[in-house]
Structure 1
Amino acid sequence: MTIYSLYIYDRHCACVYYHDWHRTRRPKPAVEGGILPAVSQAVFAPAVESNPSTLSAYGSPRNTLSSASGVVVAINEMNSQSIASPLLQAPPSPIAVSSTGLAFDEEVKLVYGVVISLRNMIKKLSGREEQFVNYRTSAYKLHLFETLSGYKFIVLSDPGSDSLRFLLRQIYVGPFLEYVVRNPLVAMDSKEYGVDNEYFRASVDRMVRGSQFFP
């Protein structure tokens, strides 16, 4: 069983977080203004990356948690634009990574649209309060966990995997509540930044890699 990618959407239908692991076909970078900053540097528009005024504390080397040592690293301000957090970079791959040919901002709209359409269809056809939790294709399986506050946690895995709703719920009740909801420095329902917290990103990465579904 393999986990491909994770998306988190807020109640404004905006993707506020993205993380991938075993994805072989990456989307193209989003167009300028297509996604919020701090969602994932791997899919930022180049114009957003190169503008120092748009960088928050999330991308600042002064607030970087080293994935190897777990130590907060302070460096000279002159190198602040040339050194980026290792967790924000696209993961290295021993093989050439192909592109889907689809910009990331279009991809997140399609993922969200599919989830909302299927959820509404199930509610209308079931005749009772039926809950949409996942669907499967020949290439992947989509898992959904939705909170009472309207946040949607979506993960894509290989089609043969079991339900991953419990893993999404663990991410919500663990790192999300700890580093995002209870963090006064993270603006909830912000329309300016994504989940701007590297401790959250590092915790999600450890949780997914430590699960039984991560080879």
Structure 2
Amino acid sequence: MTIYSLYIFDRHCNCVYYQDWHRAKRPKPAGEGGGILPAVAHAISPQTHYTDPSVQTAFASPRNTLSSTSGVVVAVNNEPASPLPGLLQMPAPQQPAVSQQPTSELPFDEEAKLVYGVILSLRNMIKKLSGRDEQFVNYRTSTYKLHLYETLSGYKFVMLSDHNTDSLRFVLRQIYTGPFLEYVVRNPLVSMNSRERGIDNEYFRASTDRLIRGLSVFP
């Protein structure tokens, strides 16, 4: 049994927080204009690159051989020096290949929309079939199990785990009553009704990680 990932959605249906642990494929970063708020997670936020052509750094050109701050020569030629005749040339050491974790095929913005869409559809179906007093708390497939805890303020805590895991709704409630209230709700620097930024608070992330890793279902 293991835990894969955690999503938090706000009352505006936006994914405001994401964290994962034993995920086989790391999430693919969201594209520009994908609808994902910044500061949801470093791994999935849109990557923005700004380049000012008027600013020249010390290493902008291969011919720039002088550091502007220290005056130290960092290069003297564009090409490597030719070896002296008669000297034995040793082959350059080969760098070990670095294995990269496979990436999910879906960008994270589409993945978050699918997760929220499944929750919304199943919750509405249960209320129509079983009455408004019935609650949707989890569902299971052959490969994973989804757990849901919804607060009175409209925040939805969603966790994906192994399909053999028991209900983790109490864990989601612990995250809400513990780290979330302590480092997000009571934090005056975090806006609770903002559509412009997520809640990637480092104290909240570290506290949530410590709570999850302390569970018996976490290997």
Alpha carbons of structure 1 residues 170 and 51: separation in structure 2 relative to 1, 3 Å: farther
Q: Which residue of 2 aligns with 1:43?
A: 44
Structure 1 position 206 matched with structure 2 position 210: yes
Q: Distance in 1 between matches of 2:215 and 2:125?
A: 32
In the alignment, structure 1 residue 117 sits paired with structure 2 residue 121: yes
Name the CA distance, whole Å, in 2 between partners of 1:128 and 1:152: 18
Distance 2:181 2:50 in 1: 30
Computed over aligned residues only, the root mean square deviation of the Cα atoms, in angstroms, reads 1.6
Structure 1 residue runs without a partner (length 5+): 53-93
1:187 aligns with 2:197: no
SS class of match (2:43) = helix
Equivalent residues in 2 for 1:28-39 (5 A)? 28-34=28-34, 35-39=36-40
- Count of equivalent residues: 172
Does the alignment pair 1:101 with 2:108? no
Residues 122-148 of structure 1 show CA distances to partners (whole Å, capped at 9, x for unaligned) of 000113521000000011000000000
Task: Write out aligned runs for 1:63-212 (5 A).
Answer: 96-212=100-216
Structure 2 vs 1, CA of residues 183 and 51 (structure 1 numbering), >3 Å: closer, same or farther? farther
Deviations for 1:9-44, whole angstroms, at most 9, x for unmatched residues? Answer: 000000000000000112311011321111011112
**Offset at residue 213 of structure 1 (A):** 1.3
Structure 1 runs (4+) deviating above 4 angstroms are: none
Which structure shows the bigger proportion of residues in helix conformation?
A: 1
Judge conservation of contact 1:186–1:196 (CA < 8 Å) in 2: no
**Higher Cα Rg: structure 1 or 2?**
2
Equivalent residue for 1:19? 19
1:66-96 Cα shifts (integer Å, max 9, x gaps): xxxxxxxxxxxxxxxxxxxxxxxxxxxx964
CA distance in 1, matches of 2:50, 2:181: 30
Post-superposition offset of 1:99: 2.0
Secondary structure of the residue aligned to 1:171 is helix
CA distance in 1, matches of 2:112, 2:132: 29
